[in-house]
Amino acid sequence: MQTVAIVGTGLIGSSFGLALRRAGFSGRILGVSSERSLQAAIECRAIDEGATLESAASSSDLVYLSQTISAIIDTLPRLAHCLKPGALVTDAGSTKRTILQAAAPLGDAFLGGHPMAGKASRGASGAEAALFDGRPYILTPSSPDQMNLPHVRSFCDWIQRAGARLVVLTAAEHDRLVASASHLPQLLSTTLASTLEHSADPAAAASVSGPGLRDMTRLALSSHDIWKDILETNGDEIAAALAQIEDHLAVLRRDLSGPAAESSFAAGRDFSLRLRPGHQD
């Protein structure tokens, strides 16, 4: 791998560039983005220089699409005609079925990806070489065999050297799992916060709040323009996850002093502990 093109040099793309450098990548890193975003990525040393999509794609061994989902879907067909032979295209989009459909013409040259990493700040200025450290990095090959291809194995090596933990899923498995584990938490945070904002006295609710409410409304800082594409491309799985939560809340509401509450607390604690190995009271 001599040359890498990062298309979309925001937080994830720029962090990927920095993580590659930290992992020992000494080749060229090209950026494809707006002028302002390229400038920020050059300043933080995430990329070496800017380029057009076509010139970057025709000279790169890896094309890393870290744009919004809809921009990735727009970019994919433009790559079919300018890709360097043997190159790999991958993406960092938060849903995978729609993107894999759009990438079908690229065949084995495309590997779906989703690094489960991020932070509240956006843009290259927040980029960190350590962003992927210990985080799951989901890959969604179009077939199990794709994982054995040389350019895919080389990419997997770099991802692991960048500190991430590889998880291989089908696109459908991915979309179902993140609907529950990522999209649902976001929508619960947003709905909790918007319900409080529309309550009789949101300032009073804020004034008596503790660290619990603060935790529970951190995700609600996210803006709709980031989530629009996710809600559109994973609507069926998200709606199913929401319907299930509505059911469980209704069961709990009707039995607040009974066994439903007790078993919900027990199971909830069990799951919470899965995310906190070694937790002690």
Alpha carbons 66 and 59: distance in angstroms, whole number: 18
- Candidates 45, 97, 256, 278: give the one binding a second copy (CB under 8 A): 256
Using the contact rule CB under 8 A, the part of the chain among 25-33, 69-77, 81-89, 236-244 near a second copy is 236-244
Tell whether residue 177 is a contact of a second copy (CB under 8 A).
yes
Tell whether residue 157 is a contact of a second copy (CB under 8 A).
no
Instruction: Please return the burial class of 127, using the count of CB atoms within 10 Å of its CB with bins 0-12, 13-18 and 19+.
Output: buried
Report which of 189, 187, 181, 83 is spatially closest to residue 138, judged by C-alpha positions: 181
Using the contact rule CB under 8 A, the part of the chain among 10-18, 47-55, 79-87, 223-231 near a second copy is 223-231
| Cβ distance to a second copy smaller for residue 3 or 90 | 90
At 175, the amino acid letter reads D
Tell whether residue 74 is a contact of a second copy (CB under 8 A).
no
Tell whether residue 249 is a contact of a second copy (CB under 8 A).
yes
Give the interface size with a second copy as a residue count (CB under 8 A): 94
Phi and psi at 113, nearest 5°, equal -145, 160
Tell whether residue 135 is a contact of a second copy (CB under 8 A).
yes
Min dist CB 241 to a second copy, Å, is 8
Tell whether residue 198 is a contact of a second copy (CB under 8 A).
yes
